[in-house]
Structure 1
Amino acid sequence: MSSAFTRRRAFTLVELLVVIAIIGILVALLLPAVQQARESARRMQCSGRLKQIGIALHNYHDAHGQFPPGNLGRQNGSTFRFGRPEWPYLLHALLVHLDKASYYESLTGDWSDVDRTPYFTMANWPTETIGVGMGIFRCPSDPQPENHRAVTLASGPSLFLTNYLGIFSGLNDGDNERDSRGAMSDPKMKATFTYNYGSSLANLTDGSSKTMMLAEYLTGYANNSRGWPWTHRAGCQFLYPANTPNSSAPDSLLGHALFCTSPGHDQPERNLPCIPETTDRNHASPRSQHPGGVHALMADGAVRFVGDTIDIGVWRGSAWVADGAIVDGL
């Protein structure tokens, strides 16, 4: 009686290593495509959120006959609780138009002492605002959380961040006019927003489709207040067309522990380069994590992706509302 045996052949070590190598090559080939697809989805969502902000801006314009002031001091009729030393920002005025009425209401009304100090103390802020992110103001391509403690003090408030900032008049904080009329030394550099002033569509004589209102910016890392729209500084509330998008030239930020004084603040590898500068020379220009450009919101509500290589003259002309330069190319 004979019996048959089936001999099963196993993989040799060499064959197994070859299979692993092939899988590794396939993963390496597919990974960039997967990452590109994910960034494409994030970029689309980023654009969509900016579009929603544009709708809110136009709803505000319909209700008030002009866009909201870039920021607003208590002495200029602000009903916001934090009238000084920091000024309410245009994004705060939009909350009620973005289904965030309860948050908006927590920021408005009367305090017994509107000049509460120290400003960066959690006890001096409405509890409804602490630790609450605002996803509508964030671009998913930015890896930072929706809110963070943007101060060195352990008692400091954790408030929402934003990746969408208004384009302000001039090229730096020293150019930015500070009165309710929107008057400035060089009216050709007037933008849609400035201190205590928001333009109307009628005043955008270069055309609403040619005028940029908001653009993207990146939020800072630990103890870095970039993208923190609660203080009236370049990179926090203000953007300027000083440099083209994602420029390797550093942003010129306030020489302060929360802005740009340490090596940890200057991070060109994260597209966050900066140098410390005196107040009137501070400027920050649009930045993003998108390859090749940033999103910009035009005054007609359209969102456009502006390339890093845009001509600086076209870029600045799109920011200023009545300089007589009817620009194309955005």
Structure 2
Amino acid sequence: MSSGQPVPQNPYPQQPQPTGPYPAPPPKSNTGLVLLIIGLVAIPVMLVCGGILVALLLPAVQAGREAARRMACSNNMKQIGLAMHNYHDAYGSFPPAYTVDESGQRLHSWRTLILPFMEQQALHESIDFSKPWDDPANQMAANTMIPAYACPSSAIDPTMTSYVAVVDPSAVMSGTDGIKIRAILDGTSNTIMVTEVASEDAVPWMSPNDISMPAFVNMAASGRGNHPGGGNVLFCDGSVQFMTENTDANVRSSLVTRDAQD
């Protein structure tokens, strides 16, 4: 029944529903797919290029590292040369190549004798020089590492050494006799007393073993060495030079003898 009152209008009128035709959806973008394809193609290319770049740079990096090791080796030998001269100043001659007992048995190396001049005074004092280097009484000293006695390019036990004297009656390191500088008639800058050897030829640093003249002359023929192309040698004036592996055998021999007339 109508009360006579006006019917209020709906404040929320219904929206008219579209009846078509409907608008077409926006076209899909292919940018993501393109970027994905580009990435899949670019990654292998980058990996290949990166590998090529590493292959090109690696030899240069290795050469730089070897140059640094060779310089460190040279510095080791210079330290040994300085110790040799300090020994000469203290005792009036370079050290003998080795010491012997009454029966002529070799006991100790020149490397042991120069320890006080290699900042190893305490180690020197701990050694019983009346007993062989490998006697149990000297075992602790023999197992001590001397950093300056190892070439950085060699792969040897820490108790071994790459630096050996060239021992020969005509050389500065002649055996049990200490040679004076004035006896080096060829001149200290022209006479070798210590050389480095390959890892395969390294010896225990305390042992009275070194290298003979024939072995030194024929070193190049062995094809072994710590550095590409040759090795360092220490001259009697304390200088260190790099001797190439193709150095003539006669030149090698003449550089070891202290008197060209020998």
- Specify the TM-score bucket, using the shorter chain as the normaliser: 0.7 to 0.9
SS of corresponding position for 2:98: coil
> CA RMSD of the aligned region, Å?
2.7
CA distance 1:120–1:100, shift in 2 (3 Å): closer
Select which of 174, 184, 193 maps to 1:194: 174
Q: Is the partner of 2:204 in helix, strand or coil?
A: coil
TM-score by length of 1: 0.64
- Structure 1: how far apart are the matches of 2:193 and 2:214? 11
User: Aligned partners of 1:2, 1:135: CA distance in 2, in Å?
Assistant: 76
Structure 2 residue aligned with 1:317: 254
- Report if the CA contact (8 A) 2:112-2:206 is conserved: no
Q: What do the CA deviations read for 1:159-188 (whole angstroms, capped 9, x no partner)? A: x2111111111xxxxxxx5xxxxxxxxxxx
Larger Rg: 2
Amino acid of the structure 2 residue aligned with 1:133:
M
Paired residues, number: 235
Report deviation, 1:126. Answer: 3.6
Q: From the two aligned structures, give the one with the greater helix fraction.
A: 2
1:243 and 1:58 map into 2 onto residues whose CA distance is 23
Deviations 1:5-64 (A, max 9, x none): 794413443322111110000000000000000000000000001000000000000011
Tell me the distance in 1 between the aligned counterparts of 2:139 and 2:108. Answer: 17
Corresponding position: 1:291 with 2:228: yes
Separation in 1 of the partners of 2:29 and 2:50? 34
1:195-230 CA distances to partner (integer Å, 9 max, x unpaired)?
21121100001111110010001233xxxx742244
Q: Secondary structure at the match of 2:54?
A: helix
Gaps of 5+ in 2: 1-24
Match of 1:145 in 2: 157
Distance 1:109 1:167 in 2: 23
CA contact (8 A) 1:245 1:307 kept: no
1:88 equivalent to 2:108? Answer yes
Ranges in structure 1 where 5+ consecutive residues have no aligned partner: 77-83, 147-159, 170-176, 178-189, 250-267, 272-287, 326-330
Does residue 100 of the first structure (1) align with residue 120 of the second (2)?
yes
TM-fit CA distance, 1:132 = 1.9
Evaluate the alpha carbon distance shift between residue 322 and residue 109 of structure 1 in structure 2; reply closer, same or farther with a 3 A threshold.
closer
**C-alpha contact (below 8 Å) 1:71/1:194 kept by paired residues:** no
TM-score by length of 2: 0.80
Post-superposition offset of 1:191: 0.3
| Secondary structure at the counterpart of residue 58 of structure 1 | helix
Distance apart, 1:231 and its partner CA: 4.0
The code of the aligned residue for 2:220 comes to S
1:30 is the counterpart of 2:57: yes
Is residue 23 of structure 2 the alignment partner of residue 47 of structure 1?
no
Give 1:5-20 correspondences, 5 Å limit.
7-8=31-32, 9-10=35-36, 11-20=38-47
Describe how 1:158-169 pairs up with structure 2 within 5 A: 160-169=159-168
* 2:185 is the counterpart of 1:205: yes
The amino acid across from 2:125 in the alignment is E
Percent same amino acid among aligned pairs? 29
